[in-house]
Every structure is written in C-alpha cells, then in structure tokens.
C-alpha cells in the first residue's frame, strides 16, 4: 500500500502564506513600508492562497525611490513584481512541496517552513542591490552572463569596473570561462592595478590578478603585503 504523503490544499496554503510573509518581512527590515498597520491587516486576512492574489500592491521606500511590490501565486510558484519609476524586476519563488513515505496509521503534520536565509540572500542580490543603486549598470544583468559564450563574455569584461569585473568573474564559474591568454590578463592587471610592482614571470597573470585583488581586500589599509606564495608584493592604491 502506498503511504506517500503529498501536500494537502491546506498545507500548500500555509506554505504560500509563509513565503509571502517572509518576503515582506525581509523587505520591511531593509526598506521603509508605507501604511504598515493597514498592510499587516491585509496580510493577516490572506488566510487562503487564493486571497493572496487579492492583496494590492504594497509600497516601500528604498534609499533611491519608492517601489511598488505586487505578488501573484500561480500553482506552486509565487511571483513578486518590483516596480519603480525607472526600473522593474521579478523574483520567482517556488513553494516547497512535501513528498515523503509516511508510516502506517500515522498523520504527518508539518508546519509551514521557509528558508529565510536563502530568501534573504536572493532578495539582497536580486532586489536590494538592484533598486538601491549598488550595482554598476553593466552588471545589472549578471545572471545572464552565465549564458554567454566565452568570446562575448571576454569582450564585455573590458567595459566593467574592477569591482563589477571581479563580481562577475572571480566569484563564480565565469572565472574559469575566461580566456587564459597572458596578454589579455596583463591588460586587466594594467587596467585595474596600474601601480602594481611584482617580479616578472612569477605566476600566470590570471592567477596574479586573483591573488592581487584578494590581498587588496584583506589588507586594504596596508602598503606592504606578504604573499603566501613566497613573494613580497608592493601595492600602491589611490588614497593611501
């Protein structure tokens, strides 16, 4: 006899409400919400998943401009739309489902759960950074760069600032997609670290770029850096 448990409508409704609540809780901790008491009443009245779609757009005030947030639940996904005067974005969140073998004559009751830290990281990366103006315009489409071919990615990288270039290459798999040609990475080194003094032909420029950037971050306030690979590197940055 099959004892596989699949979410009941009530359990699905509870999980959808939990996602809705957690997203707005994270937003309200970072942005100022307008008419908070009225909004909390609307959120509390959303006892069924169908009524979640009736909650009107909620306005938040970011550091840059007002933002309207509207959500829509369709089957097992909740879509959050963020709209300001000049930008718009959408965050898709899948409602977690439960499918697990249940023992005989056992009723498995699970409280709605939501991985808040995972949600918070996604919202920080895809919403807060975007609307608060923390991203360079060239890096707003960072997720799309993973789909680009290596030659196209190579060309785009020359138009990015150092911080954005590192965000898109050194912190994810794009770094391995970049060309290994020494000439190209020497150009990056001269562009982003023009005052770098290092013995020639010590390491490949690609590895040298990565190490130099990391050392700069760790020892930003020092002028003399100890290289764990056994070389002493002198870096002079503006303002030091």
CA distances 135 to 32, 128, 163, Å, are 21, 10, 10
How far is 158 from 184, CA to CA, in rounded Å?
A: 10
Q: How far is CA 221 from the centre of its chain?
A: 28
Q: Is the pLDDT of residue 83 over 70?
A: yes
Which of 50-54, 87-91, 233-237 is modeled with the greatest confidence?
A: 87-91
Mean pLDDT along residues 173-193: 70
How far is 145 from 152, CA to CA, in rounded Å?
A: 9
Report the pLDDT value the prediction gives residue 111, as an integer from 0 to 100.
Answer: 37
pTM, 2 dp:
0.48
């Amino acid at each position: 006899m099959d004892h596989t448990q699949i979410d009941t409508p009530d359990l699905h409704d509870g999980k959808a409400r939990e996602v809705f609540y957690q997203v707005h809780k994270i937003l309200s901790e970072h942005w100022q919400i307008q008419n908070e008491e009225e909004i909390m009443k609307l959120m509390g009245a959303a006892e069924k998943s169908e009524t979640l779609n009736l909650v009107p757009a909620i306005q938040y005030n970011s550091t840059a401009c007002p933002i309207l947030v509207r959500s829509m639940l369709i089957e097992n996904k909740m879509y959050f739309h963020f709209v300001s005067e000049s930008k718009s974005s959408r965050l898709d969140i899948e409602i977690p489902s439960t499918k697990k073998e249940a023992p005989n004559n056992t009723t498995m009751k699970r409280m709605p759960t939501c991985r808040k830290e995972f949600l918070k990281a996604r919202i920080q990366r895809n919403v807060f950074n975007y609307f608060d103006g923390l991203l360079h315009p060239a890096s707003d489409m960072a997720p799309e760069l993973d789909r680009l071919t290596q030659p196209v990615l190579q060309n785009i990288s020359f138009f990015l600032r150092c911080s954005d270039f590192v965000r898109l290459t050194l912190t994810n798999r794009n770094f391995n997609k970049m060309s290994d040609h020494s000439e190209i990475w020497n150009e990056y080194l001269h562009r982003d670290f023009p005052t770098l003094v290092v013995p020639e032909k010590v390491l490949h420029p690609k590895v040298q770029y990565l190490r130099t950037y990391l050392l700069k971050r760790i020892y930003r306030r020092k002028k003399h850096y100890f290289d764990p690979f056994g070389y002493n590197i002198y870096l002079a940055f503006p303002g030091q």
